[in-house]
Structure formats: C-alpha cells, structure tokens
C-alpha cells in the first residue's frame, strides 16, 4: 500500500499558486501591500471618522471654537502682537477626532480632509486604471491581432497620443473641460464630477498599456496554437478571448499597481493645479494646494498629504515589482526546481 502511494505522481501546483507562493515569500512586496491596504482602509473610513469627530470637512468653519484640556481655543487664531495682521489656523492637537493635524485656511479639520482626500485620490486612480487597462488592452489586442490597416491606424493614433508630454496633455484636456464639463450626445458629465479627472487620466495613459500589449499580441498571433486555431476556422473574437487574452493576463496584472501609482501622481498634480478635483471636495493634491499658502506657519497641512502620496506610490511600486517577479515565468521555473 505504502509503496503504491509512493509510486503515484506528485501533485504539481498550478501557475497561479506558484506565483502567489512566490509573492508571499517577498517580504518587501507583502509589507508594501499591507501598508497600502492600511491606507485604503483608513481612507474608506473617512465618513465614519468625520461623523465620529463631528466635523464637516467641506464647510468653512472660520469661527469654530474647540476645547483643548477644558479650554476654549478658536480654530483660527488672530495675531495679537503688533499690528494684529492675519489669522493662523490651529496647529496639530494630536488628539484623534479633534483637529488631530490642525486646521486649514478655512478652519476645516485637516485629518478629516486628508482621509476624504485619500478616498477621492484612490477612487480616481483606481477607476482611471481600470479605464486605461480596458481601452489600452482593447486597442493592443485589435492592433496586434488584426494587423494591416487596422494596426497602422490604431498605432499611429497611439503614437500621436504618446507624442504629447503626459502632463501637458492632461492639463490641456482638464482646462478645456473643467468649467463646462463634457457633453457628447446623450453622455453628459457635469463640471466638478470625479468622472472628468478619471476619464482624462485614463485617456492619457492608454498608449502606455496598449503598446506593450500590442507587442505581446503580435508575438502570440504567430504562435503555433493561434495559427492552428485560425486554420481550424475558429472565429477571431474567440481566439482573442480564449487564447490570447489569458496569455497577457499576467502583464495586465503587473500593470495594475504600477498604473495605479502613476495615476495617483497625475491626479495629485492636476488637483494641485486646480484642474482635477474641484473645491470644496478634497484630494491629496488639493490639500497640498491649500497648504501651500500655509507652508510658513502650518507646514503639516501640505506635508502630510505629500507624505501620503509618497508612501502610497512607493508601496504600489514595490508591490508591483514583487508581483512582476512572482509572475515572471523564469521565476516560476526556479521555484519549481527548489
């Protein structure tokens, strides 16, 4: 009996299981993922935090007075020395729920805005990533598979898009749409909608996804199994869906964190320039912009969202690197031999 069991072939793990096993051993990637998930959880708890703290992060509260150690403290402190010029927002109290990071120039709780801002930044970056991946993949698949005039037209179009500096293109599109919104036939997006930055960021990065996908599809198009399917009369859409798409999935997965990081940076830049998320809504970019006028007296207002962007982007990039290594076939071979 025992010898029979020993003679049975060992059950091999599938490629996904191998990849996850490999990823799980990458401490840097897992730590980055943990950091990013904590940030995501914190940001998604923004409405709860604001409710618990009893603060409205979007309304001006210049006359608000808070209690610190039993004493009433105005949120905006007027200078009492000399000519008595200017008002300075309250600094960090380091008390959760009570202006933990202080106030901005409108007397709003920076901590609550930071969480709401992160929520918007993550939503925009995430949705823009999905937008880019869908349209980038579609363009890459069609161009690479059908070739000929379709490839030429699509590739030249992507080349034109690619030729523009990303930020210049994003800024131009934002300026054109920010005041009036977009109205194309039945599709109408109001100015101020988060869909505007999502679509703009999504569009400008399409070539970044489409070009490498097209390259991969071109190579797959001439592989034996695809040629065989074509010769057997399998429809093109089915070959794309069943044979080619599964073979580029790992590339798309690797793109997710990297594009997300890139999109977060772009969203912050656009919002910083007032052409992304519109006030009074917050994003990390708009909070940095608000904090710019307070750099001398309340530097944390600008520094903290800046730090949040840096940590999130770094975590996504490190995790993306780990994911790429894990999904790399050569790594799988090495793992298999171990």
| Residues at the contact surface with another protein, assessed by CB under 8 A | 58-60, 62-63, 76, 78-79, 81-88, 105-106, 175, 178-180, 191-192, 274, 278-280, 292-298
Nearer to another protein, 299 or 336 (CB): 299
* Closer Cβ to another protein, 140 or 197, answer by number: 197
CB 306 within 8 A of CB 288: yes
Q: How far is the CB of 270 from another protein (least distance, A)?
A: 12
Of 70, 113, 150, 133, the closest CA to residue 277 belongs to 113
What b/e readout covers 269-302, taking b as 16+ CB neighbours within 10 angstroms? Answer: bbbbbebbbbeebbbbbbbbbbbeebeeebebbb
Nearer to another protein, 25 or 190 (CB): 190
Q: Which is nearer to another protein, 129 or 289 (CB)?
A: 289
Q: Least Å distance between CB 211 and another protein? A: 33
| Ordered DSSP codes for 52-121 | HHT--TTS--TT-EEEETTEEEESEEEP-STT---EEE------TTS-TT-B-TTS-BHHHHHHHHHHHH
Give the rounded distance of the alpha carbon of 103 from its chain centre.
27
Q: How far is the CB of 215 from another protein (least distance, A)?
A: 40
Question: How many angstroms separate the CA atoms of 245 and 213, rounded?
Answer: 10
Find tokens 């695809």 and name the residue.
226
Dihedral of CA atoms 327, 307, 265, 178 in degrees, nearest 10, equals 150
What is the DSSP-derived secondary structure letter of residue 109? B
Neighbours of 82 (CB within 10 A): 6
State the nearest-atom distance from the C-beta of 177 to another protein, in Å: 11
| Residue 280: CB minimum distance to another protein, A | 5
CB 205 → another protein: shortest distance, Å?
25
Q: In the chain, count H helices and then E strands.
A: 15, 6
CB of 91 to another protein, least distance (A): 12
Q: How many CA atoms lie within 13 A of 234 on its CB side?
A: 16
Tokens 């904590």 locate to 38
Closer by beta carbon to another protein, 14 or else 84: 84
Question: Could you tell me the smallest distance in angstroms from the CB atom of residue 221 to another protein?
Answer: 47
Nearer to another protein, 196 or 259 (CB): 196
Residue closer to another protein by CB (options 175, 219) is: 175
């Amino acid at each position: 009996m025992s010898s029979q069991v020993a003679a049975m072939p060992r059950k091999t793990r599938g490629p996904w299981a191998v990849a996850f096993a490999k990823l799980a051993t990458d401490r840097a990637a897992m730590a980055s993922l943990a950091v990013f998930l904590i940030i995501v959880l914190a940001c998604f708890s923004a409405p709860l935090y604001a409710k618990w703290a009893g603060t409205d992060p979007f309304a001006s509260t210049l006359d608000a007075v808070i209690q610190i150690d039993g004493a009433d403290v105005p949120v905006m402190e007027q200078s009492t020395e000399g000519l008595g010029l200017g008002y300075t927002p309250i600094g960090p109290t380091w008390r959760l729920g009570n202006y933990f990071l202080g106030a901005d120039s409108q007397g709003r709780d920076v901590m609550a805005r930071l969480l709401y801002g992160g929520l918007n930044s993550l939503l925009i970056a995430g949705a823009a990533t999905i937008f880019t991946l869908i349209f980038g993949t579609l363009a890459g698949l069609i161009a690479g598979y059908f070739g000929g005039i379709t490839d030429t037209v699509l590739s030249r179009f992507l080349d034109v898009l690619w030729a523009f500096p990303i930020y210049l293109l994003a800024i131009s599109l934002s300026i054109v749409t920010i005041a009036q919104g977009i109205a194309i036939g039945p599709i109408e997006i109001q100015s101020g909608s988060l869909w505007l930055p999502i679509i703009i960021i999504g569009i400008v990065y399409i070539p970044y996804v489409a070009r490498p996908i097209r390259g991969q599809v071109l190579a797959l198009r001439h592989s034996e199994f695809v040629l065989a399917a074509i010769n057997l009369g399998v429809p093109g859409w089915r070959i794309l869906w069943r044979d080619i798409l599964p073979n580029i999935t790992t590339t798309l997965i690797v793109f997710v964190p990297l594009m997300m990081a890139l999109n977060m940076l772009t969203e912050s830049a656009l919002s910083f320039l007032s052409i992304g998320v519109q006030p009074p809504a917050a994003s990390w970019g708009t909070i940095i912009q608000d904090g710019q006028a307070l750099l001398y007296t309340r530097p944390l207002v600008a520094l903290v969202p800046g730090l949040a962007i840096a940590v999130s982007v770094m975590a996504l990039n490190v995790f993306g690197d780990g994911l790429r290594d894990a999904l790399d076939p050569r790594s799988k071979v090495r793992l298999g031999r171990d």
